[in-house]
Amino acid sequence: MARRRSALLVLCSVPVLIMGCTTDKAGQPAPTPTLTDALPGDPGAGDAYYPNDGNGGYDALDYHVDVGFDPATRHLDGDTTVTAKATRNLSRFNLDLRGLDVKSVQVNDKPAKFTREDEFELVITPAEPVAKDSMFRARVLYSGTPAGAQLSGTGESDIGESGWQKSASGGAYVLGEPHSAAYWYPVNETPLDKAAFNLTARVPDGWSAISNGREEGTTSADGWTTSAWSEPNPVASYLTTLAIDKFTFERSTLPGGVPVVDAYAPGAEARRAAGSQVPAVLAFLATKFGPYPQSAAGGIYLDENLHFSLETQTRPTYARWADISTVVHENAHQWFGDSVSVKSWADICLNECFASYAQWLWAEKDGSDLNDRFLRAVEKYKNSKDFWAPPLYDMGPGQEFEGVYDKGILAVHALRAKIGDEAFNRVLKEWPAKYRHSNASWSDFEEFVTAVAGQDLRSFLDAWFRGTTIPGDADLFPGTLRR
Ligand code: TRP
Ligand code: ZN
């Protein structure tokens, strides 16, 4: 019986039918494939900087994450189902999960064997191999106290290291880049495998939870409040988040009907001045980058002294110090980073150089002379080796964020001067359209911008984005910046 059922699953080709299909198209039991050639999935997705992050052998399509978290005990209960498609005949496969105790794993409703290996590999062996191109569901039950969830909410420790932190008011939040999801659910933790994301969060009455995407309702029973969130667009796992606090919520709708949900943690109410501008910011950015690509909008405003805010999809998470410029930056990421995601972490300038340049575009709207700003910055840094040292492409693991926020802005402005406003404006709109809700690399961008500009940009791009010293005068002051 077990074997037969698996064979039938394999032959169902329509995703909706997979869950309950029992016969093939002709209504006959399907033949059993042998799958003698089934292979294990890879334990890493092969990023040059974080080779063990993510896994190979399948493509995750959808997550249903169900978690309960009690701020008093810091205990988490999790029940996550990943729906995926095998990309080879799979004898076993991995999910990434950091810490937490796994109680059971099922694949297509049947108990599966599992082991924990290395730092964060959950190795799952289903009762039978999964055939290439077939869909399967892996359900993992787990619990425990997440690493970092005990840490006090000063934001002094580096959030990227633990994913979780305790908020100032005793709540908790989990976020981080380049990875954070494996700290709270089993996941294919690579930006290359974006998937739809659904969350049900259970917290004691009096607390509330907020996450990505659309709010799907809140219910209360037995002293626990349960809220549901769903993000139908593909999301890179590091852009998913969960924040639990005694939030004040603000809800509205963008002119096109996109729902806006803002959550202000106790003490963060002053962020409303910036948060209330999200609709205006998105409207402005849409004039530059094309239609807003996400299903929902808003913000999670923490009263935490985080080093960074983060562009969590649809709903960025903000540090205590966030201002309108931060709001512009994180929302620009909804196009640059969230919709168009990196292929590898070496490509991070595609996210940060452009999100940072959006802050200049916002200032330009208010009358700032960007050429002047550029020239003053170059004057200020022209003798600083440190300023020019970080390459904007392939900067090395742990160094992703060194040059992209400052040198990155100048590089994008120089690119604009080099190719002219008309081509530059086309790039800003056509790039997010071409790679909407997918992945792109820095070389994809070089190829794209060269085609739009219709000129050879090789030495210019090398000098600004791959170089480690100040560009020579011809590249430093191109086009309208020529002196
Ligand atoms: N991408 C974030 C930004 O908007 C910066 C960031 C890098 C970050 N690493 C992080 C934020 C870890 C939170 C946690 O610029
Ligand atoms: Zn950023």
pTM for the whole structure: 0.92
Contact between 453 and 425 under an 8 Å Cβ cutoff? The reply is: no
pLDDT for the residue 7? 36
Q: What's the CA-to-centroid distance between 265 and ligand 1, angstroms?
A: 19
Query: Using CA atoms, how far apart are residues 98 and 181, in angstroms rounded to an integer?
Result: 9
Tens of pLDDT along the chain (483 residues) come to: 333 333 333 333 333 333 433 344 445 554 445 688 999 999 999 999 999 999 999 999 999 999 999 999 999 999 999 999 999 999 999 999 999 999 999 999 999 999 999 999 999 999 999 999 999 999 999 999 997 766 654 544 444 456 899 999 999 999 999 999 999 999 999 999 999 999 999 999 999 999 999 999 999 999 999 999 999 999 999 999 999 999 999 999 999 999 999 999 999 999 999 999 999 999 999 999 999 999 999 999 999 988 899 999 999 999 999 999 999 999 999 999 999 999 999 999 999 999 999 999 999 999 999 999 999 999 999 999 999 999 999 999 999 999 999 999 999 999 999 999 999 999 999 999 999 999 999 999 999 999 999 999 999 999 999 999 999 999 999 999 998
Q: Do residues 127 and 112 lie in contact, with contact meaning Cβ atoms separated by under 8 Å?
A: yes
Output the residue whose Cα is nearest ligand 1's atom 3. 310
Atom 9 (ligand 1) nearest CA: 177
Ligand 1, from 302, 307, 405: best to mutate by most atoms within 8 Å of Cβ? Answer: 307
Strand partners, 202: 68, 226
Instruction: Compute the distance between CA of residue 228 and CA of residue 209 in angstroms, rounded to an integer.
Output: 9
Pocket of ligand 1 contains residue 401 by CB under 6 Å: yes
CA of 254 to the centre of ligand 2 (A): 23
- Rounded to whole angstroms, the Cα distance separating 225 from 41 reads 38
Question: How many Å lie between the centroid of ligand 1 and the Cα of residue 387?
Answer: 20
Check: CB of residue 253 under 8 Å from CB of residue 296. Answer: no
Taking the CB of residue 448, how many other CB atoms lie within 10 A of it?
16
Q: Which residue's C-alpha comes closest to atom 7 of ligand 1?
A: 177
Q: Is the shortest distance between the CB of 160 and ligand 1 below 6 Å?
A: yes
Q: Quick check: CB of 309 below 6 Å from ligand 1?
A: yes
pLDDT of residue 20: 37
**Closest ligand (CA of 309):** 1
**Residue 387 CA to ligand 2 centre (angstroms):** 18
Which atom of ligand 1 is least distant from the CA of 329?
4
| CA–CA separation, 220 and 201 (whole Å) | 11
Ligand 1 contacts CB of residue 311 (under 6 A): yes
